[in-house]
Structure 1
């Protein structure tokens, strides 16, 4: 069999995968597609220009070694950038750029740049002197990087946040979308990036706003017939931070106006930072064209902190508040409150308050009482593994059968029920549920949930299954 672009690139990937972190591999190498191999030059397709710049800045040596191993010293690498046009024109455009590494990896010329057909749109509503208006950033200086502690659960998001703060608008992370469950630090990280940028680049206009407030402002502008001023104002921002972007679900007018603001900022090299309680793939009632914009940069998940990170967070909180607490009590709290950071800090505040009000020393017994209250008040989140076990037992099959590829009706229904309850009872993304229940994709999970909802309305026996399983899982 001859050497093909696919075989060369697959061999390169094996080498690259061995030499970098799994998360980095997933983010930067999985989306790449090999295009063609001609005269010892491998063309690879990358999703955006930012993506190409990031690879060139951080991974060019690794790419060079991998490619030289496959094709010898005369190897060349050409990037093909394929992206959608921002305004109207549906036809994507491509440009080819040889790798800039001055060694054997190709010349520095651009190959065939095909420019976008649309010139940049001029804003006809220029308001004289508006640049002189001081825009308050609405940032909270207490939410900074110093007190956003790094751990396995947030490393990717934090590092990306730092990269954006050092070079707003100049990295591949545009937009940077940070997503995760309640109380895991999304808002904290968004503020921290803004605070750091203001510190490094005082002349840049940074604005933090919740999606809810953005929507209210937009509605107000439509009422007062000042929609164009509203758009123009947002187009002046250098760094726009929008919190809880999932709030735009179903609000088509606001989505439309945000789409145009986003495009303008992105085209002009301005930075957009978004937070959401779910991954783009799980967002419902958000227009496809906007979702595709969200995926242009990086989506980084904040997960539940592991034990070591929880201990660090507690110690940091106590240190900042000038309070000392015995190690065994810190350890007890960290072991027992796993849900999120907000509750972890809440438990410590509660402990300190209890001891100072009652003039009691902080003892293990007091810690047990406080933690018990916290754990009792938070609904225990069941794991996907546990859900699969309960469903399998109920239908008298083993988990391997539930996950198998078989299309037998009763097994398919059991699998769909497991997916349905995983979506209902956990904060896991659809993609994550699918991969844990027999390596399916997010579309299969979405289909399963719809099927269960439909059957619940029409099939009495199926309704009983749902009821029984709900009781077992609650």
Structure 2
């Protein structure tokens, strides 16, 4: 018959594609690779345990039907989970899952959360705004999944957040680390998960806290000599959400105490959600033992929203505020404010305010004025796309050449400079920079940054390249 894993999987995919939305197909099926076909068992490689659980929960019937059509009634599916994104962890592990067992597999090794022995437990550590026995979750109900619009830039993070809120502590992404630049929705998503958990499981104790406030409380507990009470208080939380975890950088005592709290929660099947402005691999001055725990679950990046998502965000905001705006103005705003969602929403509010205070219609001229103010008054964050264009122009090549696989020295150097400036001038993670500059991995980007630093000190001509490009990019 001469069938290969590839050909069987291609046929399965064409069936699957006809039966689900293009977005779902792109997110959950495009990343899968077919690796092996033996008898009637097809092995497919998925990028994480989270991915496998999601497929099992949402697409198990579809997979079974498509595979049975190809390989007959005895078809089996074997998952190979290869975590390529967990920085440095190159050991794949394989799970063989016969079809007959597949339906029970998702719940196999999940600890059920331990019930608190005594719900009357006194809050030993009085936190402003938190009652003695009833712990106020400190969540903002305005931040919900309903107004967190899905797009290519946030799909993985949003879906992971939904999965966690459906089954807190019961998925393989514990902790869930959401990372990305300023104003892209990390805090919004963290609150949305908490709000959803409270809605589904009113009996669970949820607490949202910023890493900064957590540090202040810890310092206070040391002063008052009740560090243990502080730890015990946090150990009774079912879902702990810590915002801006990178702020623990360099704070050894706080990191130590967080390490103990994290371990206790994790071992007892409680859920931890963290946000950060950088990926674990880019965090400075965070202890290795803590970093390794951050990588246990899923790290999901929030990227800059694309044009379509920006249009949807504007329309959603206008709809919620009961305001109508001409399509061309919506597109003008979406085209001109690209760096973050907070700025985009700020510009819309300014536009609405100006028009209602001055009793004027919203016109393209008014939009232009507002956008000029926004773009002028905010420090412009350059995009990786723009950096590649500037570097390519400087070396008189096109972006395709810069991204190509060629090893010619001058092209390699141009590519390394693009990676160096992307690391320096954007908040993108190393993995994200690598993906955007010719589908490289984070280790290549790290190597590029080291090479540029070394060459700048030893090679005068190269130093001039760096200085020239720096001027062009930071004007």
Category of TM-score, reference length = shorter chain: 0.7 to 0.9
- 1:368-383 alignment to 2 at 5 Å? 368-383=368-383
Q: CA separation in 2, counterparts of 1:235 and 1:434?
A: 38
Deviation of the 1:55 alpha carbon: 4.1
Aligned to 1:164: 164
Q: Out of 3, 24, 39, which is 2:28 matched to?
A: 24
Aligned residue for 1:338, secondary structure, equals: coil
Distance 1:309 1:161, change over 3 A: same
Aligned to 1:130: 122
Question: In the TM superposition, what whole-angstrom CA distance separates every residue of 1:399-438 from its partner, at most 9, and x where no partner exists?
Answer: 4554455555444332221211122233433223223333
**Equivalences, count:** 447
Aligned to 2:142: 142
Q: CA separation in 1, counterparts of 2:266 and 2:13?
A: 31
Question: In the TM superposition, what whole-angstrom CA distance separates every residue of 1:14-50 from its partner, at most 9, and x where no partner exists?
Answer: 55665362322477x46x988x97x966788989876
Aligned residue for 1:130, secondary structure, equals: coil
Q: CA separation in 1, counterparts of 2:103 and 2:382?
A: 55
Question: Is the 8 Å Cα contact of residues 16 and 62 (structure 1) preserved in structure 2?
Answer: no
2:264 aligned with 1:267, yes or no?
no
Deviation of the 1:335 alpha carbon: 3.1
Aligned to 1:86: none
Aligned residue for 1:202, secondary structure, equals: coil
Distance 1:425 1:316, change over 3 A: same
Q: CA separation in 1, counterparts of 2:338 and 2:13?
A: 32
Deviation of the 1:260 alpha carbon: 2.9
Distance 1:212 1:57, change over 3 A: same
Distance 1:65 1:398, change over 3 A: same
TM-score of the two chains, using structure 2 as the length reference: 0.78
Deviation of the 1:157 alpha carbon: 2.6
Q: CA separation in 2, counterparts of 1:108 and 1:322?
A: 47
Question: Is the 8 Å Cα contact of residues 98 and 107 (structure 1) preserved in structure 2?
Answer: no
Aligned to 1:236: 236
Q: CA separation in 2, counterparts of 1:272 and 1:53?
A: 18
Aligned to 1:189: 189
Aligned to 2:128: none
- 1:297-446 alignment to 2 at 5 Å? 297-399=297-399, 401-407=401-407, 409-446=409-446
315-324 or 370-379: bigger deviation: 315-324
Distance 1:69 1:139, change over 3 A: same
RMSD value, Cα: 4.2
Aligned to 2:220: 220
Aligned to 2:276: 276
Aligned residue for 2:179, secondary structure, equals: strand
Distance 1:325 1:438, change over 3 A: closer
Question: Is the 8 Å Cα contact of residues 28 and 55 (structure 2) preserved in structure 1?
Answer: no
Distance 1:433 1:327, change over 3 A: closer
Unaligned segments of structure 1, at least 5 residues: 84-91, 116-121
TM-score of the two chains, using structure 1 as the length reference: 0.78
Distance 1:420 1:74, change over 3 A: same
Aligned residue for 2:207, secondary structure, equals: strand
Question: Is the 8 Å Cα contact of residues 138 and 209 (structure 1) preserved in structure 2?
Answer: yes
Deviation of the 1:72 alpha carbon: 4.9
Question: Is the 8 Å Cα contact of residues 218 and 230 (structure 2) preserved in structure 1?
Answer: yes
Question: Is the 8 Å Cα contact of residues 54 and 171 (structure 1) preserved in structure 2?
Answer: no
2:211 aligned with 1:211, yes or no?
yes
